[in-house]
Amino acid sequence: DRAHLSTDGVVVVIVNVEKQTGKLTSAPELLSRGFVDAEGHELLLEEGRDVVARALQGADHITEIADTNATIRDSLSKFLYDQTRRRPMVLAVTVEV
């Protein structure tokens, strides 16, 4: 894991979801460390937020946190690889409200 982090970095996704329905209550937050340089960083993270939001909107029936986190990891990992050809570690944090 250390070698992976040192070469590709980490992206943390924080989402707030409604407990009963699993729907987003606010826009996802993305934080990155050691992943991309400052140039194009904000645009990439903004597009990443949209990818996560669309993935969760398409999965309204998901109410388990583990399933929500897996959906986030899968969709964002694919998007980031397609855009940068790098595979950062994606950590999803789901907060139920």
From CA 65, how far away is CA 37, in angstroms rounded? 31
DSSP string, 62-90: ---HHHHHHHHHHHHHHHHHHHHS---EE
Taking residues 75-90, what's their average pLDDT?
95
Q: Is the model's pLDDT at 4 over the cut of 90?
A: no
Q: Is the model's pLDDT at 12 over the cut of 80?
A: yes
Report the pLDDT value the prediction gives residue 54, as an integer from 0 to 100. Answer: 94
Q: Is the model's pLDDT at 71 over the cut of 90?
A: yes
Domains and CATH numbers, the chain: 2-96 (3.10.20.580)
- DSSP for residue 23: -
